[in-house]
Amino acid sequence: MPREHAAPPPRTPSFHLDAIGAERSTSDDDPMAVLVAVLDLQAALPGIQRMRRWGHEALAVGPGERALDVGSGTGSEVVEFAARVGERGDAVGVDPNPAMLAIARERVAAAETPGRFVEGDAYRLPFDDDSFDAVRCERVYQHLDDPAAATAEIARVLRPGGRALLIDSDWQTAILHPGNPEVVGRMTAAMLAATPNAVSGRLLRGLLVAAGFAIDDIGSEAVIWDPVTVRPMFEQLGKSALSGGVITEQERDELVADIDAGIEIGDYHLAVTMFAALGHLPPR
Ligand SMILES: C[S@@+](CC[C@H](N)C(=O)[O-])C[C@H]1O[C@@H](n2cnc3c(N)ncnc32)[C@H](O)[C@@H]1O
């Protein structure tokens, strides 16, 4: 079992498009409840489910292996790892957010699987060198200022020949319809500028190569939102853009009216493409 080092202080995740859509799901203002509700909503989207299924098949974690999920969120993929590695293996999630870790631990216990969680940061993973056979990291890199440093850490904790799977959105592929394209374009540009690594999806392959991995596969999946998430997403985008002076109140009101009309007749489309890169380290 890998030895754990002391965790550094947690970083506060920045606001990002993944956090939009929670208003429908919670009745209070607890930011943690909002984030968990959003992650659960997203986990139910067919695009995310397909990407995860493909990713687990591609990473092919097997009985007795040691597998790590970096930025493990609610812990759902550690539950999947635990089922794959069995009693002789080790399924571990690492996340800097203690409240998120508490939820993940509750869920793993409820699932009666032996997965475990450790507080830590992608920049300084609290594990020895050569601790894992496989590492996955999903929708975390978009929050990182230095994804190359995080990738070097993943390479460090993997054994020679170990596999890594990186999954992330590329927000420049976002489609928002209906609405005045010029106003939508201004809002999208502002949102991209506020995200530390907004085009993360297209960078994953290069990051693995630069960290010494050989590439085995590349995957992609469009995540398409449904009406439950479309409406609050536009509302939130409009609110942020208005307060940032990116659009006027009139433009915001027109946009929301366009969206409502689109939802009413079934003419709406809001999507972003997620990309994945799978690689392995050379054997020693
Ligand atoms: C959008 S959520 C994704 C969670 C999960 N990987 C999933 O796909 O459902 C981003 C996660 O990254 C974690 N995170 C943020 N900054 C991090 C960092 N520097 N190192 C590791 N995890 C981080 C957050 O606490 C959160 O759990």
User: How confident is the model over 177-198, as pLDDT tens digits?
Assistant: 999 999 999 988 888 998 999 9
Q: Is 96 in the pocket of ligand 1 (CB under 6 A)?
A: yes
Q: Is residue 193 part of a domain?
A: no
Whether residue 124 is contained in a domain is answered as yes
CA–centroid distance, 40 to ligand 1, in Å, is 14
pTM: 0.91
Asked if residue 55 belongs to a domain, the reply is yes
Residue with the two structure tokens 């990738």: 151
120 close to 92: Cβ distance less than 8 angstroms: no
Sign of the CA dihedral with 162 first, then 201, 219, and 119 last? positive
pLDDT at 239: 83
DSSP letters of 163-229? EEEEEEEEEEEEEEESS-HHHHHHHHHHHHHTSTTTTHHHHHHHHHHHTTPEEEEEEEEEEE--HHH
- First-to-final CA distance of the chain: 21
User: Torsion over CA of 250, 38, 48 and 281, rounded to 10 degrees?
Assistant: 110
Element (H, E) at 136: strand 132-138
The answer to whether 274 and 221 are in contact (CB under 8 A) is: yes
- pLDDT, tens digit, 9 for 90 and up, residues 211-221: 999 999 999 99
* Residue 65 belongs to a domain: yes
Q: What's the gap in Å between 106 CA and the centre of ligand 1? A: 17
**Is the pLDDT confidence value at 106 over 60?**
yes
pLDDT of residue 26: 44
- Decide if 191 is inside a domain: no
Structure tokens at 43: 């986990």
Q: Is residue 39 part of a domain?
A: yes
pLDDT over 50 at 1, yes or no: no
Residue nearest to ligand 1 atom 16, measured at CA: 13
Is the separation of the CB atoms in 19 and 223 below 8 Å? Answer: no
With a 6 A CB cut-off, is 107 part of the ligand 1 pocket?
A: no
Could you tell me the pLDDT band of residue 2, with boundaries at 50, 70 and 90?
Answer: very low
Determine which residue's CA is closest to atom 5 belonging to ligand 1: 73
CB count within 10 Å of CB 182 equals: 10
Is the pLDDT at 9 greater than 50? The verdict is no
- pLDDT at residue 8 greater than cutoff 50: no
Region 155-175: what's the mean pLDDT?
A: 97
Ligand 1, atom 15, lies closest to the CA of 13
Average confidence score pLDDT of the chain:
89
Question: In this predicted structure, what is the pLDDT of residue 82?
Answer: 98
Q: What is the mean pLDDT of residues 20-32?
A: 55
| Domain total in the chain | 1
Q: What is the CATH number of the domain that holds 118?
A: 3.40.50.150
Q: Phi and psi of 213, rounded to 5°?
A: -85, 145
| Segment 237-249 mean pLDDT | 88
Supply the residue whose CA is at minimum distance from atom 11 of ligand 1: 71
Residue 45 lies in a domain: yes
Domain of residue 76 covers 17-168+198-219+276-280
Q: Tell me if 24 CB under 6 Å of ligand 1.
A: no
